[in-house]
Structure formats: C-alpha cells, structure tokens
Structure 1
C-alpha cells in the first residue's frame, strides 16, 4: 500500500528562511543579477579579487536590505507602500462653487 503525504500548506504564502512572498522573489532576482554582473566583469578581464569583492559586498548588502525590508514591512507591506504612494495627498477642485449649487426655477400657479 502506498503512503501519500498531504500538503498542509495550501493557501499559505511562500516562505523560505523567514523571507515571505515578494521578498523571496526580490532576493532571488537580485542574486541572479549579481551573478550575471560578476560573470560580465570576469569575462571583461577585471581582476579576480575585484570580482570577488564586488560579489561578496553586493550580495551581503542585498541580503541585509531584503531581510530588513521583510522585517519592517511584513508580508504585504511593499504592496501597501506602493499603493500609498499612488494616492493623492490633497484633492483640489478648481471649479467655481456656484457650479455645484443647482438652482431650479420655482413653479408659480397660473
């Protein structure tokens, strides 16, 4: 008889080592971009130590920034932050006030 394991994480967000949702994709994309950058630097003939220093420092910066944003904003925080930036600070109406007042003629008995 076969034994099947049930996935109990249905409907939950993706999480890896504490990184949740969009931060995980930012982290993976950033590491991929750093890998491509270091490969380009190496193929261009830059010194190996400079390539290693660039890779190490920028990857540690990426890790630190991603985990700090994850801690600060939470799971849906970046989406909320982006939505907040799109809202106007003030609603300005430059139309004449009399335009909003509807004056109807009074009916007179004939």
Structure 2
C-alpha cells in the first residue's frame, strides 16, 4: 500500500516573504500600478531618467509601506480597522420612553 503526503497548508493563510493575506493584494496592486504609471509617463514623452526615478522611488515606497503595515497590524488588522470605522460610536435613541413600554394585546384576547 502506498503512503501519500498530506497537505498541511489547508486552512492557513497565504504568505509570501512574510506578507500575509490582504497585504499581498496591496503589494501586487501597487507594483502593477507603478508599472503602468511609468509606462504611461514614458509613452507621454517624459525623460527616461525621470521615469526611472519615479518608478524606483514609488516602488520602494510601496514595498516599505506594505511591509510596515503587515508588521504593525498583522494578518487581519486592516479589516479590523475598516470595521471599526463603520461601527457607530454610540447609539442614539430618539423615541419617547412610553413608546417602548406600550403593551400590545394578543390576537385572541379582546
């Protein structure tokens, strides 16, 4: 009878070079956006040195910022921050108190 290796990575989050979860999408999207920006600037006739400087500077900023966010907030940190922003700070109740204490008769008792 043959023995097969069991995949131990089922249920774990995706990780690449220490970046986890949504930070991979931010990282890949940022790099792709920088590539498109540099290509558009080069086609528009901007000097190639300026394009290279903007590309290198922007790419290094994206790399630094995504690794910083990953280290600071962790795997689910950005989702927690977004949820906290959508959560109300307090609940306002503007109805009169007797309106909450109103007794509603049952259907069969008249």
Q: Give the TM-score normalised by structure 1.
A: 0.85
Q: How far is 1:81 from its partner?
A: 1.0
1:52 and 1:6 map into 2 onto residues whose CA distance is 46
Give the match for residue 99 of structure 2.
Answer: 99
Task: Name 1:85's counterpart in structure 2.
Answer: 85
Q: Show the 5 A alignment for 1:10-21.
A: 10-21=10-21
Q: How many residues align?
A: 103
Describe the superposition over 1:40-65 as per-residue Cα deviations: whole angstroms up to 9, x where unpaired: 00000000111011001111111111
Unaligned runs of 5+ in 2: 105-110
Which structure has the greater CA radius of gyration? 1
RMSD of equivalent CA atoms: 2.0
TM-score by length of 2: 0.85
Alignment partners' CA distance in 1, 2:103 and 2:40: 72
Give, in whole Å, the separation in 1 of the partners of 2:38 and 2:5: 41
Once residues 50 and 26 of structure 1 are traced to their aligned partners in structure 2, the CA distance between those partners, rounded to angstroms, is: 25
